[in-house]
């Protein structure tokens, strides 16, 4: 660390800011730990959460109490997503099953799902819908990823033999309509062409000795990945944010990685061009000192301006993406915009487009917290 006193002052300043923040709003509806949260793009103030109690809770922040709940099943609900373009359709993963619900047809006496998909062999960790609302992708504990054709209601493709351990996260790539990116507890990030069912690129963080800046904690498992939405790409570039088990958040340019020769990448590029190099957000710039569990790009204010990360160190970090990706900025102590201290580890987080109550955090309690980030 070149200027420890500067970073120390920065951290103290951020701590004061965090302490000065208003107490978060608390959303109550789960009887055990909250696992996942999503917000509506179409209806401001709509928050949907899931928990280990097998329940989905539907909140409207204009109201005090939970609006209604969906009892999905006896197993924990690990992941949620809306159907793109139709947020009345909700997908929820429970065990190795994915269920869809039409909220317009729900009533207190019936939780019958609209459809149910049982293609995954093992517990699903994340389910996502692509931009055309034609496919679902589900990553599971076996390391496989299932691509499900929503229109035909059938299995389209299985992506296997890529991860050698749990596949923890999956995202469609908006500007590459036939490709997904996955991360796993084998410390690997894979880019797939799911129309052909094969991987195009493997980035092995377990072999990456250049980007960790001496940070040595847990293995560099990939716990979560985030991709900018299409309307963020012009400002951020075609990047991917990676939450790692060693406490590091990486920003990686997908197109640059695909253009490299070979099938695996074992280090950071030395290029000074921000479009070609990785940005490593570690402890030296105020980052996490334990595993990072979740990352998300901000939807509030100037969309994509901030990258939010949450970790097992009981903190949420708000990173200024524009500064992180600006190769002209030499003082990287300005990367961290805000540091929020929590009392529990972070399970998941998401943002909304609102000016207030725009950061939703699921920690290891049953109460979901809502913060205002400005």
- Name all domains of the chain by residue range, CATH numbers in brackets: 75-257+276-346 (2.130.10.10)
Q: Write down the pLDDT at residue 356.
A: 93
For residue 213, give both structure tokens.
Answer: 């800046």
Question: Helices marked H in the chain — which ranges?
Answer: 4-20, 233-236, 254-259, 321-324
Q: What pTM was estimated for this model as a whole?
A: 0.89
Burial readout 174-190 (b: 16 or more C-beta within 10 A, e: otherwise): bebeebbbbbbbbbbbb
At which residue do the structure tokens 């498992």 appear?
221
pLDDT at position 89 is 95
176 to 91, 132, 171, 218, 255: CA distances (angstroms): 23, 12, 11, 32, 10
Written as six digits, the tokens of 353 are: 């487009």
Alpha carbon of 348 to those of 35, 51, 74, 179, 185: distances in Å?
Answer: 6, 11, 21, 24, 17
Query: Whose CA is closest to 257, among 181, 319, 363?
Result: 181
Strands 124-129 and 135-140 come out as antiparallel
Q: Please report the sign of the dihedral spanned by the C-alpha atoms of residue 236, residue 128, residue 313, residue 268.
A: negative
137-177 confidence digits (pLDDT tens)? 999 999 999 999 999 999 999 999 999 999 999 999 999 99
> What is the C-alpha to C-alpha distance for residues 49 and 346, in angstroms, rounded to an integer?
14
Low pLDDT (below 50) residues in the chain: 1-7, 9, 12-20, 210, 212, 214, 262-275
Query: Which residues are bridge partners to 97 per DSSP?
Result: 94
The per-residue pLDDT for 46 is: 96
Asked if 55 contacts 36 with a C-beta cutoff of 8 angstroms, the reply is: no
Q: What angle do CA 292, 176, 358 make, to 5 degrees?
A: 45
| Total residues found in the chain within this entry | 374
Element (H, E) at 172: strand 167-173
**Residue among 111, 144, 112, 149 at smallest CA distance from 125:** 144
Coil vs helix vs strand at 367:
coil
Interatomic CA distance for residues 221 and 224, integer angstroms: 9
| CB proximity list for 111: less than 8 A, separation 6 or greater | 70, 71, 72, 101
In order of 1, 2, 137, 148, 149, the CA distances from 152 in angstroms are 55, 57, 15, 9, 6
Q: Cα–Cα distance between 327 and 322 in angstroms, integer?
A: 10
Residue with tokens 């995202």: 171
In sign, the C-alpha dihedral spanning 282, 288, 294, 298 is negative
pLDDT reported for residue 265: 44
Please check whether residue 156 is in contact with residue 144, taking contact to mean a CB–CB distance below 8 angstroms: no
Distance, in Å, from the CA atom of 156 to the CA atom of 153, rounded to the nearest integer, reads 9
pLDDT at position 108, please?
A: 59
């Amino acid at each position: 660390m070149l200027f420890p006193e500067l970073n120390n002052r920065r951290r103290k300043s951020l701590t004061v800011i965090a302490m000065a923040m208003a107490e978060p709003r608390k959303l109550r509806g789960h009887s055990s730990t909250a696992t996942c949260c999503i917000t509506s793009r179409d209806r401001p103030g709509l928050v949907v959460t899931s928990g280990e109690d097998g329940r989905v809770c539907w909140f409207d922040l204009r109201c005090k109490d939970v609006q209604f709940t969906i009892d999905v099943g006896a197993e924990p609900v690990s992941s949620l997503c809306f159907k793109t373009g139709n947020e009345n359709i909700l997908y929820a993963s429970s065990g190795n099953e994915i269920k869809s619900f039409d909220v317009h047809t729900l009533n207190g006496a019936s939780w019958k799902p609209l459809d149910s998909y049982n293609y995954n062999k093992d517990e699903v960790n994340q389910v996502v819908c692509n931009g055309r609302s034609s496919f679902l992708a589900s990553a599971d504990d076996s390391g496989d990823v299932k691509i499900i054709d929503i229109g035909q209601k059938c299995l389209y493709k299985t992506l296997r033999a890529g991860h050698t351990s749990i596949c923890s996260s999956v995202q469609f790539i908006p500007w590459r309509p036939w490709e997904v990116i996955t991360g796993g507890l084998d410390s690997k990030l894979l880019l797939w062409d799911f129309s052909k069912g094969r991987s195009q690129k493997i980035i092995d963080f377990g072999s990456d000795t250049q980007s960790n800046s001496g940070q040595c904690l847990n293995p560099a498992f990939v716990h979560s990945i985030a991709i900018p939405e299409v309307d963020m790409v012009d400002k951020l570039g075609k990047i991917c944010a990676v939450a790692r088990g060693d406490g590091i958040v990486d920003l990686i340019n997908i197109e640059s990685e695909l253009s490299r020769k070979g099938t695996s990448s074992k280090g950071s590029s030395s290029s000074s061009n921000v479009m070609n190099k990785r940005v490593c957000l570690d402890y030296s710039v105020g980052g996490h000192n334990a595993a990072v569990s979740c990352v998300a790009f901000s939807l509030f204010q100037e969309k994509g301006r901030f990258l939010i990360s949450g970790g097992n160190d009981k903190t949420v970090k708000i990173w200024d993406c524009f500064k992180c990706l600006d190769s002209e900025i030499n003082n990287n102590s300005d990367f961290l915009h805000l540091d929020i201290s929590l009392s529990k580890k972070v399970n998941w987080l998401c943002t909304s487009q609102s000016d207030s109550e725009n950061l939703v955090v699921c920690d290891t309690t049953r109460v979901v917290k809502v913060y205002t980030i400005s």
